[in-house]
Chain A
Amino acid sequence: MAATSGSTHRGSLERVGSALVGWLQVASKYLATPLCSPAALDRLLALGVHLPGDCQGVLEVHLGEGGGAVDLSVRIEKPGQARRMAEQPLPRQLRDFLIRWSEAEGPFSAIPCVWLEFDLDRPVAGLPIPSVCTRLPRGSDQDWIVESLLPALYGERLSAARTGLVRRCHGEIPEEGILLYVFGLLSRPENPVRMEIYGLDPAGALAYLNRVAPQSVPSLAEIAPLFEGIERPHLSFDIGREILPRVGLEGSFARQREPRWTELLARLVTHGLCTPEEKDAILAWPGYDTFWTAAADWPLEQAGMRGFCVRNLSHVKVVAQPGRAPEAKVYLPVSYVTGANSPARRSVLST
């Protein structure tokens, strides 16, 4: 889906709808155990009531024995979505940031999209405090990141020490890498900053970390082989008072259905990071529903009959830190789209 400049992005298929819960309900039949426990599904649906239905939601599924936990992120890509979320009881600085992002001439209008990430490790009562993730415009200036963006996300300037760490980590990114996302982890203890770098292959990520956070190299070295041959690699790490020892490596493939997904998930199974049942459920996830395949759950009132509730496979992430076993997660988007009104199109994807 092509992106356009500025803060409004629109693809050939358009997302509409009033509350995400309707689409989560349609997708829920594919979310049974082993991917999602009944309690986790209850939390997803309770949260989905508060989130715009024209936003893409992404399920963050925790894998492995004892899995079944699922968190939820929502992508804000249009000014109207940001303004609606800003009416919700979010932290003040986050509401202010969303409003400023939605302003066409504002200081953040070049940010293509903003993610709100909700941890669902406890029952949902109202809207939990999310972490916020901003996708950076290409070529973002370091001063703008540390002097404008991060203070807006946190509602205050970061300490000089933390600012210095962000600058150093940014400055050390090699030419083949891009700082793609900056997070304010507002829902985590000490609210660290997360930096997510795109484009470093496992060897490049190890070399980079060796320069900025050598203490994290053994953890990354442990998980890097899982991602050999991956497309679109991402490296992430968090900055609190110091660079924290937890590192994440993620990757994906451009096509939804191709054998390398199976190979990647099989490697996770071999290393005990994913069960065979989870692997099979993940590979069965991509597809879509229409009113005709999900009539009983279809949110007719909000969407009418048209459109598709699409389930995608986004990426796999493995996090590692000293003294703890690595953890794998898979990210499964759910979107409602319309605009593909060609009855002549027929595919085998119908579920």
Chain B
Amino acid sequence: MSEELKSFLQGLRTKPELLEELRSLLGDVDAAIRWACERGCHLTPEDIAEIRGSDEELSEDELDKVAGGDTAWPPPPAPPTGDP
């Protein structure tokens, strides 16, 4: 993360309405760059890509996989293989 982006976000992090404005512009890189520029920050397309990459979600399956406590709970003991 560039220092410019980090500094910009530090200023925005306590301003939810501005964060939502930025978030709504992430589909249009030029518009997002202009919006940041109007607020004194010169972001690059790479910065916008970094921001977009952070806006993702987890599925329920993924939440289960992160899992609780000890994620590698053992399965029940394996049944006999039936090998001779």
Chain A residues in the interface with B (C-beta under 8 A) = 1-3, 9, 11-13, 56, 58, 75, 112-113, 135, 138, 175-176, 178, 180, 198-199, 232, 252, 254-257, 286-288, 290-292, 295-296, 298, 300-301, 304-308, 310, 312-315, 331-333, 335, 337, 340-343, 345-347, 349-350
B81 in contact (CB, < 8 A): no
- Docked complex Cα distance between A135 and B70 (Å): 9
Q: Which of A13, A305, A308 contacts B51 (CB 8 A)?
A: A305
Q: Are A345 and B58 in contact (CB under 8 A)?
A: yes
B74 in contact (CB, < 8 A): yes
Q: Which of B13, B54, B76 contacts A290 (CB 8 A)?
A: B54
| A313 in contact with B68 given A176-B77, A199-B77, A340-B58 (CB within 8 Å) | yes
| A11 in contact with B58 given A176-B77, A292-B19, A312-B66 (CB within 8 Å) | no
Q: Please give, as numbers and ranges, the residues of chain B lying within 8 Å of A305 by CB-CB distance.
A: 1, 9, 50-51, 53-54
The total of Cβ contacts below 8 Å across the A-B interface reads: 144
Known: A11-B65, A300-B13, A307-B54. 16 other contacts (CB 8 A): A75-B70, A138-B74, A199-B76, A254-B64, A256-B60, A287-B63, A295-B14, A304-B50, A310-B66, A312-B69, A314-B70, A331-B68, A340-B58, A341-B53, A345-B59, A347-B63
Residue of chain A at shortest CB distance from B22: A292
- Docked complex Cα distance between A176 and B77 (Å): 7
Chain B residues in the interface with A (C-beta under 8 A) = 1, 6, 9-10, 12-14, 16, 19, 23, 50-60, 62-74, 76-77
